[in-house]
Amino acid sequence: MSVSNYQFATRVSNLMPNPLREQAKHIQSADDYIKLTYGYPSEQAFPIEKLATLSDKIYREHAVDFMQYGESEGIPRLREQIKERLSQYQNLDVENNDVLITSGSTQGMDLVFKIFVNEGDTVLTEEQTFVGAVNAIKSYGGNAQGLPFDMINGCIDTKVLAQTLAADTAHKIKLLYLIPTFQNPVGTSMSLEKRQEVYAICQQYQVMIYEDDPYGDLIYNNIETIPKIKALDTSGLVIYAGSFSKILAPGSRLGYLLAPKAVFDRLVLVKQVADSFANLYWQYLASQLIDDYDFNEHIDYLRQIYKVKAETMVRALRQYVSQYMTFVEPDGGYFISVKLNHDIDPILFYDALDRYHVGVIPGNIMSAAGQGYERYFRLNFTLPTEEEITVGIERLAQAAATARIKQQTAL
């Protein structure tokens, strides 16, 4: 049988390779590139010595447990620890909701879309959003519909949200997918008033909210903690997603969902189909780390090292590129969103960046529609060193100068 004769399922026929993953193969393997690209943690962030000690401990005390089959929900101790932290530090309702441990946060969204999205259904998102979520929606025959974004309030346009839901008389809109805290790629956070407004609108139209929160612990500018949308949930409309990728290690592939119990039960069923259970070794390791060490101290350490890097990038952007582009200064998270001025040709700019060996994420990649954001790009400050950040931003300025459109002089 030739490749052209394979009869693939309709749900995968429109899927394209994840452009972030494809680009990563090129840039991440290139030693001479300055990588201001992917949401990778710093190598300084990994508590390697502590994990090595704990690994020996869990091999002595739990080896048979994590080498055997496990519960689809996740190991009980880790689930309880997550509930305790969510209740204590985020004021989330853990009595009427339950925690499912997932194989990374991407599996969490895949499972949620699987139980809610039929072919032809719609999931509303921010116009610029996580490309993995868009592909997950499409994988079930759904449509990812981006809503206009209010940069001042760090939020989707709530008037458009209400109008869109009111017009959905066929009830094809099944979910609203949001990254309300240190949004990826924009970097802004939704105000409490806007969170309340979004929740009230979705409550009125009985539309589920998927609150994706991988960066919420990483606050750098001592801003007042804003309650999660899930903390406002009195009707079982919000699924809250967290992750250990940004605060422990991406290689752990540990994420979790806090969902209303009826939703949780369905998620467990599809989790059993997907992979039976998340990696048990890392579940025991993460649990032991929380038990034996001060996990808040570890998060404070991450905040300190990333705050310095964020400030380094903001300072370099102000110094070198202010005449070529504007940017959003973040209060936390991993990213800074940048917009080229209108006198910079985006195509020439990206070509020049490639010649200068600097990697960034173009805006169209991080948009629901895959277009309309040619002048935007995303920068990551957590992985590169301070020196690499400064040199990389200097090269951004050089690329922008090369790509500047010369004004025609009137005769």
Give me the pLDDT at residue 58, please: 97
Cα-flanking dihedrals φ and ψ of residue 28, to 5°?
-65, -25
Find the farthest-apart pair of alpha carbons in the chain and give their distance in angstroms, rounded.
Answer: 84
pLDDT in tens, 277-327: 999 999 999 999 999 999 999 999 999 999 999 999 999 999 999 999 999
What residues form DSSP beta bridges with 327? 338
In the structure, what pLDDT confidence band is assigned to residue 18 with cuts at 50, 70 and 90? low
**Residue the block writes with tokens 């008033």:** 193
- This prediction has a pTM of 0.93
pLDDT value at 139 more than 90: yes
pLDDT in tens, 156-191: 999 999 999 999 999 999 999 999 999 999 999 999
C-alpha to C-alpha distance for 371 and 345, rounded to whole angstroms: 16
In the structure, what pLDDT confidence band is assigned to residue 27 with cuts at 50, 70 and 90? low
Give me the pLDDT at residue 31, please: 65
Domains in the chain (CATH in brackets) are 3-46+297-402 (3.90.1150.10), 64-294 (3.40.640.10)
- Residue 359's alpha-carbon distances to 9, 19, 317, 399, in angstroms, are 35, 13, 16, 12
In the structure, what pLDDT confidence band is assigned to residue 410 with cuts at 50, 70 and 90? very low
**Which is it for the CA torsion 129, 132, 134, 136, positive or negative?**
negative
pLDDT value at 408 more than 50: no
pLDDT value at 345 more than 50: yes
